[in-house]
Structure 1
Amino acid sequence: MWPWNAMIAGYVQFGQHDQALEVFQQMHLAGEPPDEVTMLSLLSACADNGVLDISRRLHGALMEVCSRSRLSTRLGNALIDMYAKCGSIEAAMEVFKGMRENDISTWNSIITGLALHGHFQDSINLFEDMLKMKFRPDDITFVGVLVACSHGGMIKKGRRYFYLMQNEYGIEPNIKHYGCMIDMLGRAGLLKEAFEFISCMKIEPNPIVWRALLGACRIHGDVKLAEQANEQLLRLRDDTSGDYVLLSNIYGWGREAEEIDG
């Protein structure tokens, strides 16, 4: 078994997912049944490829492997992650509901998957269920929750969860948490608060954070704040060609607004 697993894992590690799936096909033709190690590698390959049809076939093969035993938590987590990345959140939920045992990775995968696929309230509801069941969230959990709040326009909850993360669970925010908060405030048009939030960050804001603010300025037509965000991007010496285009678009919007007002 190990030569097959080694080849599949090697291909997956180097991003050669098609080759990994081809080896699995050869393995099947040779009459060699896959084990959990094989399936974990293949599920990872399908998650990265985002091919739903192959993912379903692998799920079927996995059920045959596990027909005499219970699906392990690791495999269940891999299935949820795979289906979520392939765009089938319904299938991911079905796997989640059918699992007998969950760990924090299980919750993280389904909460984030729901948030990224537009099921914002469902994501928040599952997070609340997780807390009631005494699971302790980690930094990844809060990224998923804050994404749901940002894209779902749940400003009050987003602020509360950001506070809860630090003061209840002792988790220091990383750049992803800050990015979600800036995105949330920017989408809501709270540009001044978003700028002040960046100023109070405990870590150095990166270009992604400033671009989130710049994009919000474009949506809401704040030329002055857009200039400040662009200055910070220049200070970081990042590739700002796209940012100049965005800034010029904001200037254009500002001129149009002045003409209308005039």
Structure 2
Amino acid sequence: MLAVAGVSVVGLFLLFCFIGPLLYSTDQTHTDLTQVNLPPSAAHWLGTDAVGHDQLGRLMYGGQVSLLVGLAAGVLATVIGTLWGAVAGYAGGWVDAVMMRVVDAGIAIPALFILLVVSAITSPGTPGMIVILGLVSWLVPSRLVRAETLTLKNRDYVLTLRATGGTHGRAIRRHILPNSVSTIVVAATFQVADAILLIAYVSYLGLGVQPPQTDWGGMLTAGLTAAYSGRWWLIVPPGLAIILVVCAFNAIGDGLRDAFDVRGRG
């Protein structure tokens, strides 16, 4: 049920962010100083911001960036971590030792710190943010996949393939990775949630995607000062969206992990 609820929430947000603008068209490029900081009304369902942008439309477009970056960065991190962990676990010996020392060293440095430093230096756009997030977030998936690989590489079907002349690459492609799908999928859902939180935090500090683009974290930054003046519609919707989406992806991960555990025990 957790996974179903999470998928439902994520699906609704995807429809809201990517289909919503087709049904609720707004101008997010030009300012309108006659429509500044208006409260929610029939004309503007979530009010307007400090430059006259419709908040509901901005929430949709900001969600496109947050979800796109989160999904893409989560997938990229999972792919990198999966390949690294599979090679390390399958190779074993000194190769495994060296590769995992690299992972340990990376984990010792907070990903958020690296992300903030790189973002401050490069001021990346959306593609750059995806790459940076992916490159700082692959460490945990690599450890999970390595642990799975250490178990799988001693299974009879892998040993049989090796005994009949199969290459290491073929063993990883045909047996290690397919039998690690449950671990990989669960890791990916948590990575997406982490990536959405990271991009929101970086944008909140003003180091994420730059205007005229925005994301939910950038909307929080823009509305923080105004919120103290009672203009709650500038901060509550993006904050609530971040909480709901992150919780939804975590629920998907928890639900899938429980489902795979039950199947494994069965």
Give the TM-score category using the shorter length: under 0.3
Higher normalized contact order (CA 8 Å, seq sep 6+, divided by chain length): 2
- TM-score, length-scaled by structure 2: 0.25
- TM-score, length-scaled by structure 1: 0.25
